[in-house]
Structure 1
Amino acid sequence: MKSLAGNGVEGRFEWIGLLGVGDNIVVTNKRKLERIFSMKGGKGETSYAKNSQAQARHAQSVLHLLEGTLDRLQLVSPETPFVVADLGCSCGGNTIYIVDVIIKHISKRYEALGHEPPEFSAFFSDLPSNDFNTLFQLLPPLAIHGGSMEECLAADGHRSYFAAGVPGSFYRRLFPARSIDVFHSAFSLHWLSQVPESVTEKRSTAYNKGRVFIHGGNESSALAYKKQFQTDLAAFLRSRSLELKKGGSMFLVCLGRTSVDPTDQGGAGLLFGTHFQDAWNDLVQEGVVEGEKRDSFNIPVYAPSLQDFKEVVEADGSFSIDHLQVFRGGSPLVVEQPDDAAEVGRALANSCRSVCGVLVDAHIGDKLGEELFARLERRATNHAKDLLEKLQFFHIAASLSLDNS
């Protein structure tokens, strides 16, 4: 799961990298963003695994909506394995927690009907560049040793399902037809499959000159992002409608906004359109990065309104909307000492770097990336109180059932 944490991104950036050793990213030609983009792997200070506590809290706040989706799901014979897929799993423990919640809830439904639960299978899916190694190291050992599924579910510290990783963009097909019972995706669908081409074309009215995100930008840029989001979500729905079993359901959570104006990206705008933007401007003003280099970098994120989302689902027609709402998710900053400005600044820089650091390093090299995030940390430290008060995320939660009519 991810908050600003992406999936399925394929872009059109000119990648000019620095040859190096160790942590240096080597990029020497134009490549699909899909092959490069991921949340920051490993277990270091700026990794996604260390900076996804806020996503965990936000996910827990909508567990009742997830459980409502699972209660509406049509159960099949317990002799048939039950299959769960988490799309945009990233490399932290949040996805494992959610899969466990889903399986335990479904098991209770079977038990309430007097049946022993079926065998369970869970697919963890993200882009090929995702750090699956770190994720799989977090998986508890399998508890199935010839015992019943009921005994397996009762085993402490073990998992009660078979696990597999599925690399690929969720804007395309990932699974065989009619093979999945329930899809879950959290904090991923706001990541676009690419930055719209017109946003980086100098002759286009949508050219996002001087900015690295659409927040506070011109209307044409924002509408290009909106169109890309709707195209991507339509592709996502088409693929899932073929992969879900009859009676299957999806529970989706992504960044959202309450404003009708797409140039007001809410919390995402404050994260990527204020101090992060200013940090880029610092590098340009100091002559460290050329203005055109900054202008060719855009964050491929779009926080839709409820209407943006609803229009696509209804136009697709494959799914019934069981529940759709915008809810306040809270701050992405998790700090132990809110009065410590340095801790707040570090938390913002680490949070931002964990979700888009790979893109920054691929665009300007990891050394300049260090410079950029150092400036972001200093700016965030100077505005710590304001950030704690104003940086709030809104999310869209959608419970969708496959329309079998």
Structure 2
Amino acid sequence: MAPMGDNVVVSNMKLERMLSMKGGKGEASYANNSQAQAQHARSMLHLLTEALDGVRLSSPELPFVVADLGCSCGSNTIYMVDVIIKHMTKRYEEGGCEPPEFSAFFSDLPSNDFNTLFQLLPPYGGVSMEECLASDNHRSYFAAGVPGSFYRRLFPAKSVDMFYSAFSLHWLSQVPDVVLDKRSTAYNKGKIFIHGAKETTANAYKKQFQSDLGGFMRSRSKEMKSGGSMFLVCLGRTCSDPTDQGGAGLLFGTHFQDAWNDLVKEGLITSEKRDKFNIPVYAPSLDDFKEVVEADGSFIINKLEVFRGGSPLVVNHPGDAAEIGRALANSCRSVSGVLVDAHIGDHLSDELFSRVASRATSQAKELLEQLQFFHIVASLSLA
């Protein structure tokens, strides 16, 4: 975990050493605020199984290797790995083959709360595959954690059959330097996200996204086995203008932005302190994503579409404005809280998200109606 305090500037840190979803099992933890991601992922299962049907069945004498990139620390990754392994087991059996042993790699940045994730893993069955698959209390695969940035190499060459990554590739490897440089025309003065920012600022984010996704593609092309497949989901947008970040813009560019401005107006932080913080997220358009994949040339696009994911807010009482306000604040804090804590410290972070909740409460009805996420969904195989 990065050190806390007002003298800490996120932009001067190695982002990959500190960026993570909020760990543990508290109210604002990712583990307790990722129900929407679970719903969105399950609504795409038919697309995932299509991608799995395109994976070449290798010799049962060799393990079948699955890697979840950007696994985070909740139960969603465990559920999806189970889905993948059960589907591949069924394919082997339907082909008259004995299923191989399965190996699952859970990968995220070193700052990820792997301890919480591994505590959620059921014990390895140590019995037959059929017994493992029939039991909710055992897993049917060997598990390992792989810390590191997925914008670089993570695995040996030609070692992975299936790459899965959901709700992660919109996170950039860094905030572009020019966005935080007062001398640059791309300086994002007065803002903590690119939603509604200047064109030059948005283009700097777009360039960073292109560079990052290109590195991701090059790395996976070396690590994937011949006949393997890759299924990717990330936040996306339907508008061609990158300054309109869609659902991500509403999450980070409205109440969250206004809460930062509240701290400035109240004298709790300076405007310079606010301007040194930017969320390293870019929601690409379909064309943004396609251009990078085609320019790299390592993969064939089997499917590429924008998928309506729905709201990131899961509430039990839609008529309770205070619950909606808390849900938005917790959702925002679960994914950005670690960065905020590092930039302004725990105490001011509490103040910030309290204001997010208050502002969201006052606009609860509009939030439920307007806050919708779209996702880029891609199924790729080696060219």
TM-score, structure 2 normalization: 0.97
Check whether the contact 2:321–2:362 (CA below 8 A) recurs between aligned residues.
yes
Aligned to 1:163: 143
1:205 maps to 185
For 2:328 and 2:272, the matched residues in 1 are separated by: 26
User: Quick one: distance in 2 between partners of 1:29 and 1:173?
Assistant: 24
Q: Distance in 2 between matches of 1:234 and 1:259?
A: 22
From 231, 254, 264, the counterpart of 1:284: 264
One-letter code of the match for 2:91?
Answer: R
Map 1:360-399 onto structure 2 (within 5 A): 360-399=340-379
Matched residues in 2 for 1:395 and 1:50: separation?
21
Deviation, 1:364, is 0.7
Q: CA offset at residue 141 of structure 1? A: 1.1
Question: Which SS does the other structure have where 2:83 is aligned?
Answer: helix
Distance 1:242 1:219 in 2: 35
Three-state SS of the structure 2 residue aligned to 1:365 is helix
SS at match of 1:311: helix
Given that 1:265 and 1:303 are in contact with CA atoms closer than 8 Å, whether structure 2 keeps it comes out as yes
Letter of the 1:17 counterpart: M
* Pair 1:308-2:288 in alignment: yes
Q: CA deviation at 1:29?
A: 11
- Quote the residue 1:43 is aligned against: 25
1:356 to 336, 342, 349: 336
CA deviation profile, 1:228-281 (whole Å, cap 9, x unmatched): 001000000000000000111100000000000000000000000001000000
Unaligned runs of 5+ in 1: 1-14, 20-24
**Change beyond 3 A, Cα 1:333–1:209:** same
**Residue 4 of structure 2 corresponds to which residue in structure 1?**
17
| Distance in structure 2 (CA, Å) of the matches to 1:151 and 1:343 | 42
Select which of 32, 52, 62 maps to 1:80.
62
Aligned residue for 1:184? 164
Residue 6 of structure 1 is matched in structure 2 by none
Instruction: State the Cα distance separating 1:116 from its structure 2 match.
Output: 1.5
* Alpha-carbon distance in 2 for matches of 1:28, 1:352: 17
Mapped contact 1:16–1:363 kept (Cα < 8 A): no
Q: The residue matched to 2:235 in structure 1 has which SS? A: strand
Aligned AA (1:70): L
- Which amino acid counterpart does residue 95 of structure 2 have in structure 1? L
Q: 1:89 aligns with which of 68, 71, 80?
A: 71
- Is residue 117 of structure 1 aligned with residue 102 of structure 2? no
Alignment match, 2:131: 151
Q: Counterpart in 1 of 2:34? A: 52
Question: Which residue matches 1:32?
Answer: 14
In 2, the alpha carbon distance for the partners of 1:151 and 1:26 equals 52
- Would you say 1:261 and 2:241 are equivalent positions? yes
**Counterparts of 1:39 and 1:83, CA distance in 2:** 25
The letter of the residue matching 1:66 is L
Q: Which amino acid aligns with 1:370?
A: D
Distance 1:27 1:295 in 2: 11
Mapped to 1, the partners of 2:132 and 2:38 lie a distance apart of 25
Pairing of 1:222-301 with structure 2 (within 5 A) = 222-301=202-281
Kept after mapping to 1: 8 A contact 2:11/2:175 = no
Whole-angstrom distance in 2 between the partners of 1:156 and 1:132: 21
**Partner AA of 1:275 in structure 2:** H
Sequence identity (%): 76
Q: Is the 8 A contact 1:16 1:29 kept in 2?
A: no
Structure 1: which amino acid aligns with 2:163? F
SS at match of 1:83: strand
Is the CA contact (8 Å cut-off) linking 1:16 and 1:28 kept in structure 2? no
The reply on whether 1:63 has 2:45 as its aligned counterpart is: yes
- 2 CA distance for matches of 1:268 and 1:28? 20
- Contact residue 15 and residue 174 of structure 2 kept, 8 A: yes
The change in CA–CA distance for 1:27 and 1:63 in structure 2 (over 3 A counts) is same
Q: Secondary structure of the equivalent of 2:234? A: strand
Query: Pick from 173, 187, 196: which aligns with 2:153?
Result: 173
- Post-superposition CA distance 1:185-233 (Å, at most 9, x none): 0000000000000000011110000000000010000000000001000
Q: Note if contact 2:5-2:343 (Cα within 8 Å) is conserved in structure 1.
A: no
**Unpaired stretches in structure 2, ≥5 consecutive residues:** none
Task: Tell me which of 293, 300, 305 is aligned to 1:325.
Answer: 305
Encode CA deviations 1:51-103: one digit per residue, 9 max, x unaligned: 00000000001000000000011110111100000000000000000000000
- Secondary structure of the equivalent of 2:291? helix
Cα shift at 1:171: 0.5
Instruction: Read off the aligned partner of 2:4 and give its amino acid letter.
Output: G
- Distance of 1:310 and 1:142 partners within structure 2: 39
SS at match of 1:400: strand
Distance in structure 2 (CA, Å) of the matches to 1:28 and 1:314: 33
The TM-score normalised by the length of structure 1 is 0.92
Q: Partner letter of residue 86 of structure 2? A: K
